[in-house]
Structure 1
Amino acid sequence: MKAAVVNGPGATPVYADFEAPAAADGYALIDVNAAALSHVTRAKAAGTHYSSSGAFPFVAGIDGVGRRDDGTRVYFFAPKAPFGSLAQRTLAPAANCVPLPDALDASVAAAIAIPGMSSWAALVERAKFVAGETVLVNGATGASGQLAVQIAKHLGAAKVIATGRHAETLAALETLGADCVIPLDQDERALSRAFEPHLRDGVDVVLDYLWGSSARTLLVGAATHLPEGHPLRFVQIGSIGGGTLELPAAVLRASAIALLGSGIGSVPLDRLLNAVREVLHAALPAGLRIDTRTVPLADVGAHWDDTGSRARTVFTVAG
């Protein structure tokens, strides 16, 4: 079969022949239709991800969409090494296969599965979101943040506030469910003033994809301006704004802020897969969408390092 084969640490995958997987107990053989390119997929290929085994060659890709031998369309996660999702055929744990709605396009499903799961799990599993609450998405211009805005509105948020640095994407979020947007490209004092009226009205859940300085400004502002005793669940999901922040202890003593994290480790795998299932079944009724570009798997080498585009790259696989 043809696949995106990684021959050494840091090597760009090459479109080449690789031995096809054989049936195994507890696993499903899958003819792959589409698979998204993710940060984890790149890190595993580079040998820098904590789950990297150091064994080569292997097929890149951690998840995708395809058909089982019985014809069932599924999303699948964590193929059995050395197989991956960027191939014509793969082998994934049967328990990690989620049936797809018939009308949902394979490329759309592949694009939204992981970023949508991130948002859904953070809201439902960690924040225990209740319809009618106010949600602030800090870092809403990435794929996960964009979907978080849409999912929060779909689940019944009374108000959704979105922050971000990419002006065009931030403005577009107002057509996707954001009731108001706050640019992050302003100094700390101005940003604090921008947060203040929303905090005074009462924010119930923060989904934070950034950490770093914007999260600190938001937490300090929440301790100062939230109504007395108002519980805020602050869910930390990503850290592209910085891996650490310095937070005054009084912020937590003087408020009802609960700091939570969401991801593998804080949410069991079966619940993460349930979040994927919920996202995929909500995709059409909620009109979930993010910018996506599809590329034939045969062109994987030319597009592996395309990080300048804000669109999520999805490789499509020919039979």
Structure 2
Amino acid sequence: MYAAVVRSFDKAPQYDLFDTPQPSGKNEILVDVLAAGLHTRVRSQANGSHYTSSDQLPLIPGIDGVGRLPDGKCVYFVAPDTSLGTFAEKSVIDLRRSVPLPEGVDPVLIAAAMNPAMSAWVALQRRVDFQPGQKVLVLGATGNSGQMAVQIAKLLGASHVIGAGRDQQRLHALAALGADDLVSLAGDPEEVAERLGEAASEVDIVIDYLWGKPAELAMLPILTKRSDRSRALTWIQIGSVAGPTAAVPSVALRSANFQVIGSGQGSVSTAGYVAEFPDLIAAISAGKLTVNAESFPLSDVEKVWNAPTNHGKRVVFIP
């Protein structure tokens, strides 16, 4: 079969012939891959920097996709934890990590949306006791996952959603996606933190795709301006675009009802993720989430991989 193959962590995948994988477990089956998304997580998988990555090469990148079963039915699936991912003509899937798709749904749409949408969806459904009417700050809302998080928070019943990001054009576009307030993260970091404190002091949940200094500096301004510090504020750490570490002030944990948790592989079980797939797929299929997808043939993988990133689009490869 043809696949995108990584033979060196410092080079883009190359389109090449590769041995077709074979099912080995009782729940495994070989599917024809219809579409697979180039997510941020896939790039870190391919360059060996993700925290789940091993040094095993060669590898086929891709962590999820839409596939066609031998009986002709289509499924969304998450790839098994092996070096043989979804950027290939065929992929071995574990049926326990897959769910059937509705008739007529666009495979490209599902492949583009599921990964960036899943982070916020699972965080709100599995990591906290999110209640309709609560208020949410999305830190890093101008990225693909952040844009989804704004929409998902509203879809699940948030009464007020604040989107915070650096890209001014994409920040203003968040209003059409459901953001009630917008905060620019451009400028002096201390001033940015103060702006966040003024705008987000009454939120119940922070969905954080940035971490690093922006999170570190914003915690105390947000907490000290709360009208009632005993009202719970949960900070959900999902991404680390701005840095892998942030110093949490000890006074923040003592002087307010404040907790910092994470959401991702390990903090939520695979079964927990799979249980959320059907409802999220239904929302995407029904057009309740805006998805910006751009598809390319898998044979163009090296060219697309090295091209400047279009942050407004989610790239999907079609084998």
Residues 244 and 69 from structure 1, CA distance in 2 versus in 1: closer, same or farther, beyond 3 angstroms?
same
Query: Partners of 1:247 and 1:80 in 2: how far apart?
Result: 32
Q: Do structure 1's residue 275 and structure 2's residue 276 form an aligned pair?
A: yes
Aligned residue number for residue 107 of structure 1: 108
Query: Partners of 1:147 and 1:112 in 2: how far apart?
Result: 8
TM-score by length of 1: 0.92
Residues 83 and 245 from structure 1, CA distance in 2 versus in 1: closer, same or farther, beyond 3 angstroms?
closer
Aligned residue number for residue 215 of structure 1: 215
Residue type matched to 2:110 in 1?
A: A
Aligned residue number for residue 70 of structure 1: 71
Aligned to 2:289, the other structure's residue is in SS state coil
| Farther off after superposition, 41-50 or 214-223 | 41-50
2:198 touches 2:222 (CA, 8 Å); kept in 1? Answer: no
Residues 252 and 58 from structure 1, CA distance in 2 versus in 1: closer, same or farther, beyond 3 angstroms?
closer
2:194 touches 2:218 (CA, 8 Å); kept in 1? Answer: no
Residues 314 and 233 from structure 1, CA distance in 2 versus in 1: closer, same or farther, beyond 3 angstroms?
same
Aligned residue number for residue 314 of structure 1: 316
Aligned residue number for residue 6 of structure 2: 6
Q: How is 1:127-138 mapped onto 2 (pairs within 5 angstroms)?
A: 127-138=128-139
| Farther off after superposition, 187-196 or 70-79 | 187-196
Aligned residue number for residue 58 of structure 2: 57
Aligned residue number for residue 178 of structure 2: 177
Aligned residue number for residue 31 of structure 1: 32
Q: How is 1:138-287 mapped onto 2 (pairs within 5 angstroms)?
A: 138-200=139-201, 202-228=202-228, 229-285=230-286, 287=288
Aligned residue number for residue 42 of structure 1: 43
Query: Partners of 1:286 and 1:95 in 2: how far apart?
Result: 26
TM-score by length of 2: 0.92
Q: How is 1:106-125 mapped onto 2 (pairs within 5 angstroms)?
A: 106-125=107-126
Q: Deviations over 1:235-276 (max 9, x none)?
A: 111111122223321111111111111111111111122233
Residue type matched to 1:120 in 2?
A: W
| Farther off after superposition, 230-239 or 2-11 | 2-11
1:143 touches 1:290 (CA, 8 Å); kept in 2? Answer: no
1:312 deviates by: 1.6
| Farther off after superposition, 30-39 or 169-178 | 30-39
Query: Partners of 2:222 and 2:81 in 1: how far apart?
Result: 45
1:15 deviates by: 1.6
Residue type matched to 2:140 in 1?
A: G
| Farther off after superposition, 245-254 or 125-134 | 245-254
1:80 touches 1:93 (CA, 8 Å); kept in 2? Answer: no
1:79 touches 1:85 (CA, 8 Å); kept in 2? Answer: no
Residue type matched to 2:225 in 1?
A: H
Q: Deviations over 1:160-205 (max 9, x none)?
A: 00000001111111000101110001324433443344445x2111
1:79 touches 1:90 (CA, 8 Å); kept in 2? Answer: no
Structure 2 residue runs of 5 or longer lacking an equivalent are none
Query: Partners of 2:250 and 2:53 in 1: how far apart?
Result: 37
Residue type matched to 2:221 in 1?
A: G
Query: Partners of 1:54 and 1:245 in 2: how far apart?
Result: 27
Residue type matched to 1:314 in 2?
A: V
1:46 deviates by: 2.9
Residue type matched to 1:162 in 2?
A: G
2:12 touches 2:302 (CA, 8 Å); kept in 1? Answer: yes
Residue type matched to 1:38 in 2?
A: H
Aligned to 1:58, the other structure's residue is in SS state coil
Q: Deviations over 1:29-57 (max 9, x none)?
A: 21111101123323333344444444443
1:307 deviates by: 4.5
Aligned to 2:85, the other structure's residue is in SS state coil
Query: Partners of 2:284 and 2:265 in 1: how far apart?
Result: 22
1:236 touches 1:260 (CA, 8 Å); kept in 2? Answer: yes
Matched-pair identity in %: 39
Query: Partners of 1:54 and 1:224 in 2: how far apart?
Result: 45
Aligned to 1:91, the other structure's residue is in SS state strand
| Farther off after superposition, 126-135 or 144-153 | 126-135
Residue type matched to 2:318 in 1?
A: T
1:165 touches 1:183 (CA, 8 Å); kept in 2? Answer: yes
Residues 193 and 72 from structure 1, CA distance in 2 versus in 1: closer, same or farther, beyond 3 angstroms?
same
Aligned residue number for residue 22 of structure 1: 22
Residue type matched to 1:68 in 2?
A: L
1:21 touches 1:91 (CA, 8 Å); kept in 2? Answer: yes
